[in-house]
Structure 1
Amino acid sequence: MSDVLSFASLFASSFLSATLLPGSSEVVLAALLLAEKSQPWLLILIATIGNSLGGLTNVILGRLLPQRESSRWQRKALAWLQRFGPAALLLSWLPAIGDLLCLLAGWLRLSWGPVIFFLCLGKALRYLVVAVATLQGITWWHN
């Protein structure tokens, strides 16, 4: 697989994983790390950018939603997000919950700057952990 195709696959998988569509960006990242397709920092960066843009897509969708009464679990999530503010988006990488947090951040019309910062930081930390775990696993296996 060419580098361009590898990067495009990682970006697409990362973007889709951040939306309500299913994805497996961690697996793609680990596979590319194991195949030594590129420098780990570049793969982490590509995955982070793709996943962050997918998360921001959810924020934008949340801004398009009308503000009306919601269900009990949505109210709980909303209260939690209002309590912690944009910093709650550090957890935007979590399956299902992260999608909801991004939608609610948009629905609440939280400030763009902090939303982008915490969302991107959370996504980057997740991919950094996956990369370190993958690369440490290789080192452990070879010893």
Structure 2
Amino acid sequence: MQVWLDSLLALLSLPQYGLTTLFVVAFVSATLLPMGSEPALFGLLKLNPEMFWPAVLVATAGNTLGGALSWWMGYGAHKMADKYAHSSHHLRALAWLERMGPKACLLSWLPLVGDPLCAVAGWLRLSFWPCVLYMAIGKFGRYVVMTVALLYIWPDS
């Protein structure tokens, strides 16, 4: 089993497969599925440090498109959430999001709340392209900071 896993990881870390794998993992992790793309990005860059910028850009693109999918899922789920419309936490969160508008999607990089935030932005029917732009900025910043920290500040962690 270990030999098979090592072979699979070696195959997926090859530049011709690594970026595709990274894109898929980043895309899926930006949906409401509990998954993180940072280990895939870190692993790819640990094996191929010369691919820093292409890998960060591919991860950003995949994660942003996944966030856009979450926006569309939220947009389509607008009527299903009506049963929660009277919760005080729900009303406060909605008021904050409506006040912030698409800029709230800058926080889409946050663990646990970032991905649902994209869905709620769609549910509120916040403007799609500004939301996607702010998602991309937030996610790009997260990938740059985390990757630099893992590769250069704490390389032996």
TM-score, with structure 1 as normaliser: 0.88
Q: CA RMSD in A?
A: 1.8
Cα offset for 1:8? 1.7
Matches within 5 A, 1:120-131: 120-131=136-147
Query: Which residue identity is paired with 1:61?
Result: M
User: Residue 54 of structure 1 aligns with which residue?
Assistant: 66
User: Residue 4 of structure 2 aligns with which residue?
Assistant: none
Instruction: Say yes or no: does 1:65 pair with 2:81.
Output: no
Contiguous gaps of at least 5 residues in structure 1: none
Matches within 5 A, 1:1-143: 1=11, 2-36=14-48, 38-67=50-79, 68=82, 70=85, 71-137=87-153
Cα offset for 1:15? 0.9
Q: Which has the larger radius of gyration?
A: 2
Measured in 1, the distance between the counterparts of 2:46 and 2:15 equals 14
Cα offset for 1:27? 0.8
Query: Which residue identity is paired with 1:91?
Result: L
Moved over 3 A (4+): none
Cα offset for 1:37? 5.8
TM-score, with structure 2 as normaliser: 0.81
Measured in 1, the distance between the counterparts of 2:64 and 2:78 equals 24
Query: Which residue identity is paired with 2:76?
Result: L
Contact 1:3 1:37 in 2 (8 A): no
